[in-house]
Structure 1
Amino acid sequence: MCDHVHDHDYETLPENSPLVIHLVAGAMAGIVEHSVMYPFDSIKTRMQVIQPSPQAVYSGVVQAVSHIGHTEGLKTLWRGVNSVILGAGPSHALYFATYEYIKDLVGGNSDQGSHPLASGLGGACATVVSDALMNPFDVIKQRMQVHGSTHRNILECALQVFRREGLAAFYVSYPTTLAMTIPFQSIQFAAYESCRKFLNPDGHYDPKTHIIAGAAAGALAAAATTPLDVMRTLLQTRGHATDPRIIGARGIGDAFRIIYERKGLAGFWKGIQPRIISHVPSTALSWVTYEYFKWVIGKNRSDPPAS
C-alpha cells in the first residue's frame, strides 16, 4: 500500500466514490442499530402504551424483563424484530446517503472546523426520506410488541392491519414520526459530529471516538424527544386499544390531548429509561459500523491495483 493511502482522510471519501458506498454502509449500520438492542425497544413500547392490560404494567426495566421472562418467555422481547431488520436496511441506506449528500452540498465536509448546522440539516433531510420508507415497518413492529399481540408474523400482521384499518394506518403516525425524528436526528448528527471532531480533530479512523461520540449523541437525542415518541406509540398501537377515543386518534394533536388528560405531564416521559438504554449502545454501534464500512470501502478504492 502506498504511503498516500495512510494519509487518506476516510471522513471525506474520494470524489469519484459512488453512492453505493454510503448505501451499503448505511444499510449495515441500520440493521446493527435496530436489532442488537431490540428487547429494550419492546419494553419501551409496552411502557408507553396509554391503555395497557393489567398484566403489562411495569415499574422499571429490570422488573419488566423479569416479569415478561416469567409470564411470556424472554423470546417475546424479540417479537417483530424481522420487521425492523427488513425495513432498516433500505431506510438507513437512504438515510446515510442523503445525509452525506446534503452535508457535502452545504459545505459540511470542508476543512474549516466543525459544521454542526450542516450536519443537523443533513440529518433532518435524511430523516424525511428514510422515515417515509420505514414508518409502515415501525407500525408492524409495535403492533407485535404490545402485550397480548396474537400476530404470528409480520406479513400476517400487515395484512390484518390493512384489512381492518386501511393503508392510512401505516402512515397515521408519519407526521408525528417526523416531528420526533427530525429534531432527534438533527440533535444526534450535530452532537455526534461536534463530539467526534473534539475527540479526534485529525479525522483519522478511530473506533473508540465513534463509539463515545455516538453513545453521547444517542443519549441526548433520545432523552430530548421522548414526549414525541410517546405520542407516536399511541398512534401506532391504537388498533390494540379498546378505548374509542384512542382508536379514533388521528394525529399528534389528538395524541397530545389524550396523554395529557389521562397521565398529565409525567405521561410524556413514559419509557424514557429503556429508550435511553436502547439508544446509547445502538447509536454507538450504528455509527461505528457506518464509519467502519465507509473506511474499508473508501480505503479499498484508494488502494492502487496490484502490479
Structure 2
Amino acid sequence: KYCFFFLIDVVVSDCPCFQIVESGDTNHDGVLDFEEFTEYLRTNEKQLKLMFSSLDKNNDGEIDAAEIQLSLRSIGVNISVEDANRILLSMDKDGTRTIDWNEWRDYFLFNSLNNMEDVARYWKHSLILDIGEQLTVPDEFSEEEKKSGYVWRQLMAGAMAGSVSRTGTAPLDRLKVFRQVHGSTHFKGNVLSSFRYMVKEGGVQSLWRGNGINVLKIAPETAIKFTAYEQIKNVMRGGNETTNLRVHERFVAGSLAGAVAQTAIYPMEVLKTRLTLRKTGQYSGIADCAKQIIQREGVTAFYKGYIPNLLGIVPYAGIDLAVYETLKFAWLNRNRGLDPGVMVLVGCGAVSSTCGQLASYPLALIRTRMQAQATEKGAPKPSMLKLFHSIVTQEGVAGLYRGISPNLLKVIPAVSMSYVVYEYTRIVLGVDIEGRKRKKGKKKDG
C-alpha cells in the first residue's frame, strides 16, 4: 500500500523526507532503498502501535479528545478542550469524533516519531513568523522545552527570520511611513513615483533608512514579550501550572504581554520613525538621533504616540487571533483527517494579520504622525483626538488609511521570507519544523 515509485534509491537532504531517510538508512550510504524503506515502515508501525495503546486509556480501540488532553498533560503540555478537539478533527477521517488505529497509523506513518513528546511537538506546529507587525499571542511551550533551551533556539530562529523579512521589505515599510506622515503632500502618484521621489532625494540606499533599528528591536521585544507572557499566565492560573487557559484568556495574556514589551522598547519605535523619515545628512546614526531628540524635545519625546499605540494592540490582536482560529477551524472541517501543514497555517496567519491591520490602521497612522512631530521643549503637543479630527477634516476618512497599500503589499513577501529563513535557521540551530533535534545527514554526490 505504501511502497510507491519514489522510494527506490531516493537521495534526500533538507526536506520533509529527511527524517525518514535518516531513520531508515541502515547502511548509512545516504540513500533509502526498497528493503530499507519497508523495514522502516514495519519498525515505525510497531512504535506507533505502542504509542496508540498508551493514549487509549480505556482500551476501547479509539482515542477521544479527553484522552489526547490527558496524555499531553502527563508530559507537561497543557492544552484546552478546544485544542484537543482541533487535534482530533485533523485526524478524524470518518467523522466519528474519535481516532481509531487506522486513522492514527495513516496520519503518522511517514513521520519518525519516537515518543509522546515527538507527537506533542508535531501537533503544535509552532511558528513564530515576523511580518513587521506585533505578534498576537506567543507560542506555548512545555516545561521540558523551556529547560532544554529549545525555546530560546526557536525564538532566535524567529528573530533571524524577522531580520531578513524586515530588511527585504524595508523599502515598502519606508514608503508606508512617508505616506502616513506626509499624506498626499509629497506623494500624489503611485508606488513607483513615490519610490522615485525617495531615490532622487537620497539614492537607492535611502530606501533602507530606519531598517537598522527596526531589526535591532526584534530581539528585546520578543524576549520581553515571551517572559511577560509566561508571568501573566502564571498569575491568571493562580500559580496552578495544571490549569489550562482558554483562547480568550490567552488573548488577554498575549495582549498584556504585548503592552509590556511595547512599553519597554517604545523609544526604539520613535527612533525608527525619525530615522525612516530623515533627510540626507540630518542624523549621523541612531545615537546622534537620540541625542538630538533629548536636546530639543526632552526625554518625554520618546513616548510620543504611546497611547494610540497601546490602544491599537487590542483590536489588532483580537481580530488577528479570531480570524486565524476561524480560518484554521474551517479548513479542518472541510478537510477531515488531513494535517493542515505549515503553508496552510502560514496562509491563515497572513490573512488574519491583514484583517488585524485593517482594523487597527487608523490608530497606527496617528501613532506614527505623533512620533514624527518634532517640537521644542515646552511647546504644546496636539492630542490624539485633535490629530484624528484634523486628519478627517483635511483629508477625509481615507486620510486615516494613508500608506495602507504598501503595508498590505509587504505581507506576502514578508511571510514568505520569514517562513523560508525560519525553517532553515531552525535546522542550523538543531531543531526541525516539528521541534525535534536533528543531525546532519549524508548527501550523495551526483
TM-score by length of 2: 0.56
Cα separation, 2, equivalents of 1:194 and 1:119: 16
SS of 1:7's partner is helix
Match for residue 8 of structure 1 among 120, 123, 134: 120
Cα separation, 2, equivalents of 1:13 and 1:69: 45
After superposition, residues 231-270 of structure 1 pair within 5 angstroms as: 231-239=366-374, 248-270=380-402
Matched, 1:62 2:198: no
Seen in structure 2, the aligned counterparts of structure 1 residues 14 and 123 have a Cα distance that, compared at 3 Å, is closer
Match for residue 435 of structure 2 among 280, 283, 299: 299
Cα separation, 2, equivalents of 1:161 and 1:85: 21
Seen in structure 2, the aligned counterparts of structure 1 residues 125 and 283 have a Cα distance that, compared at 3 Å, is farther
31-40 or 15-24: bigger deviation: 15-24
Letter in 1 for 2:170: Y
Residue pair 2:183, 2:399 contacting (<8 A) in 1 also: no
Matched, 1:136 2:267: yes
Aligned partner of 2:345 in structure 1 is 210
Cα separation, 2, equivalents of 1:43 and 1:90: 25
| RCO comparison, higher one (Cα < 8 Å, 6+) | 1
Letter in 2 for 1:24: M
Seen in structure 2, the aligned counterparts of structure 1 residues 105 and 299 have a Cα distance that, compared at 3 Å, is farther
Aligned partner of 1:88 in structure 2 is 218
Letter in 2 for 1:219: T
Cα separation, 2, equivalents of 1:204 and 1:180: 33
Residue pair 1:176, 1:251 contacting (<8 A) in 2 also: no
Letter in 1 for 2:145: S
Unaligned 5+ runs, structure 2? 1-111, 125-139, 440-446
User: What RMSD in Å do the two structures reach over aligned CA positions?
Assistant: 3.8
Displacement of 1:42:
0.5
Displacement of 1:43:
0.3
1:219-270 Cα deviation digits (max 9, x unpaired): 111122111111011101001x8xx9xx743442232122223222221111
Aligned partner of 2:254 in structure 1 is 123
1:111-154 Cα deviation digits (max 9, x unpaired): x9xx6524532431232022113321111111122263612211
Unaligned 5+ runs, structure 1? none
Seen in structure 2, the aligned counterparts of structure 1 residues 203 and 100 have a Cα distance that, compared at 3 Å, is farther
Larger proportion of helix: 1
Cα separation, 2, equivalents of 1:288 and 1:7: 23
Displacement of 1:299:
3.0
Residue pair 1:188, 1:217 contacting (<8 A) in 2 also: yes
Seen in structure 2, the aligned counterparts of structure 1 residues 42 and 234 have a Cα distance that, compared at 3 Å, is same
1:40-69 Cα deviation digits (max 9, x unpaired): 1100111111477x6x32433232123323
Residue pair 1:17, 1:298 contacting (<8 A) in 2 also: no
Residue pair 1:48, 1:271 contacting (<8 A) in 2 also: yes
TM-score by length of 1: 0.78
Cα separation, 2, equivalents of 1:296 and 1:127: 27
Residue pair 1:29, 1:286 contacting (<8 A) in 2 also: yes
Aligned partner of 1:152 in structure 2 is 284
Task: Say which one has the larger Rg.
Answer: 2
1:136-194 Cα deviation digits (max 9, x unpaired): 11111111222636122111111111111111111121111111133212322333344
Matched, 1:222 2:357: yes
